[in-house]
Amino acid sequence: MSVSGGRTRVGRYELGRTLGEGTFAKVKFARNVDTGENVAIKILDKEKVLKHKMIAQIKREISTMKLIRHPNVIRMYEVMASKTKIYIVMELVTGGELFDKIASRGRLKEDDARKYFQHLINAVDYCHSRGVYHRDLKPENLLLDANGILKVSDFGLSALSQQVREDGLLHTTCGTPNYVAPEVINNKGYDGAKADLWSCGVILFVLMAGYLPFEDSNLMSLYKKIFKANFSCPSWFSTSAKKLIKKILDPNPSTRITIADLISNEWFKKGYQPPRFETADVNLDDVNSIFNEDEDQTQLVVERREERPSVMNAFELISTSQGLNLGTLFEKQSGSVKRETRFASRLPANEILSKIEAVAGPMGFNVQKRNYKLKLQGENPGRKGQLAIATEVFEVTPSLYMVELRKSNGDTLEFHKFYHSISNGLKDVMWKPEGSIVEGDEIRHRRSP
């Protein structure tokens, strides 16, 4: 590793800001210094992986991603390893989550929903043809590129065909309850392809309705609704769309429509364009080697304690905005606070973090502070576990900082509420550009008369 200009270098990649994080991994913006190409790098901690016996799952994720070459699936370029870390270099997708589009706009028009659904089915059908089952399909795992092309991500819960038992079925219960097929919950084995298709049906319903077909605060009540396929389509669904969704959300997997029959369905075929993609021979020999302690030592990472906030270059700054509208660089547009949000401040970095710490404590958050970063851990359990928020300060200029708050665990809607609450206590910290006014918790720019 080499360090230049306050940045970490791994192999030929220069690491930038954190795009997301979970229990076992972080995803960072990165740039290939040889080609100038921007990528995303997923960084896994080997010690955590070993401690939690996650080696098989991580190997599976890497194997899965190497097998897939499809325009509607996130591309994996290469894998690197050091003594303590694993680096998965992936395609950088900048259009956000499909979930965010639904959250900000509500339901989609039927033609738009059909287009995204066609992309999804193209990806899932291809994965199944390679013996790969996703098993956690939901809008949060569906990303959009700059051209609005859907890309399936997050194969952490996928299963390769080798895991199928002698009965021809998978036996691991996983996924997100609202999107999971009844036979997965039933714990008697399931066909991965049929279970994925059920999840696709739930996604189609959500795209067109703006809400879930199966929803209940009580988990057992939710499961009962799923087992019985107890749902009804809204009045604005076309008759042909209603019929197709009911064929997909058939609780009996043996009579559920197949992808082959789905692709020949009249509603699905409208405006359909079959995918074009390359065929590649894939070698998986290096998957085991990334856990080999005798790995080439030239790529060892040397951790360095930074004495100042990370510096954000112009491209990274612009890439955080919606399109190239500089008015949205720091503050999200009204009603669209997502899994992360950001604001600008002219206060010194240490003072910014101290203010956030002072406001978050009384709101019921434990705070850990390190290297111009904060980890806020909620004390109370939420809908999807305890809410956890990662906060980082970036230096844009010597007198201007960008502060980013990212949900690392818990429910996205609860993060929305947290952000709006904490904003009220940080009004003296947030910088408001000249000519802007505050309406509620959002900054809007005055328009010239």
DSSP letter for each residue of 238-284: -HHHHHHHHHHT-S-TTTSPPHHHHHT-HHHHTT-------------
Domain harbouring 83, CATH code: 3.30.200.20
Give Cα 254 to chain centroid, integer Å. 32
Mean pLDDT on 253-271: 95
**Active-site residue, selected from the candidate residues 100, 125, 136, 154:** 136
Distance of CA 438 to the CA centre of its chain: 30
CATH of the domain at 198: 1.10.510.10
In a domain, 141, yes or no: yes
Check whether residue 350 and residue 221 sit in a common domain.
no
Could you tell me if 120 and 224 lie in one domain?
yes
Average pLDDT across the chain, whole number:
77
The total number of structural domains that make up the chain: 3
pLDDT for 379 beyond 50: yes
Is residue 139 domain-shared with residue 253, that is, in the same domain? Answer: yes
pLDDT digits (tens, 9 = 90+) for 393-417: 887 777 788 888 888 888 777 888 8
Q: Which of 76, 92, 108 is the last residue of a domain?
A: 92
Look up residue 324 and give its two tokens.
């190239």
Same domain, 79 and 141: no
Exposed / middle / buried, residue 77 (Cβ in 10 Å: 0-12, 13-18, 19+): middle
Asked if residue 227 and residue 174 are part of one domain, the reply reads: yes
Q: What is the pLDDT of residue 287?
A: 65
The predicted structure's pLDDT at residue 112: 93
- Give the closest residue to 89 by CA, choosing from 20, 29, 4: 29
> What's the confidence (pLDDT) of residue 198?
96
- Indicate whether 78 and 194 sit together in one domain: no
Asked whether residue 237 falls in the same domain as residue 345, the answer is: no
- Banded pLDDT at 303 (limits 50, 70, 90): very low
* Proportion of the chain above pLDDT 90, given as a percent: 23
Domain of 352, CATH number, reads: 3.30.310.80
136 assigned to active site: yes
Q: 43 and 154 share a domain?
A: no
124's CB contacts (< 8 A; 6+ apart) are 134, 137, 152, 196, 197, 200, 259
Q: Are residues 86 and 119 in the same domain?
A: no
Which residue stretches of 284-324 are H helix? 285-289, 314-319
pLDDT digits (tens, 9 = 90+) for 88-113: 888 898 888 887 778 777 889 999 99
Same domain, 11 and 66: yes
Q: Is 42 annotated as a binding residue?
A: yes
The answer to whether residue 61 is domain-embedded is: yes
In a domain, 264, yes or no: yes
pTM above threshold 0.85:
no
Asked whether residue 274 is domain-assigned, the answer is: no
Q: State which of 45, 63, 92 marks the end of a domain.
A: 92
The last residue of one of the domains, among 37, 62, 92, is 92
Residue 389 lies in a domain: yes
Structural domain range at position 369? 310-445
Residues 379, 403 share a domain: yes
Residue at 353 is within a domain: yes
Together in a domain, 18 and 79:
yes
In a domain, 294, yes or no: no
Most confident of 6-20, 37-51, 163-177, 428-442: 37-51
Residue 111 in domain: yes
pLDDT tens across 201-232, in order?
999 999 999 999 998 888 889 889 999 999 99
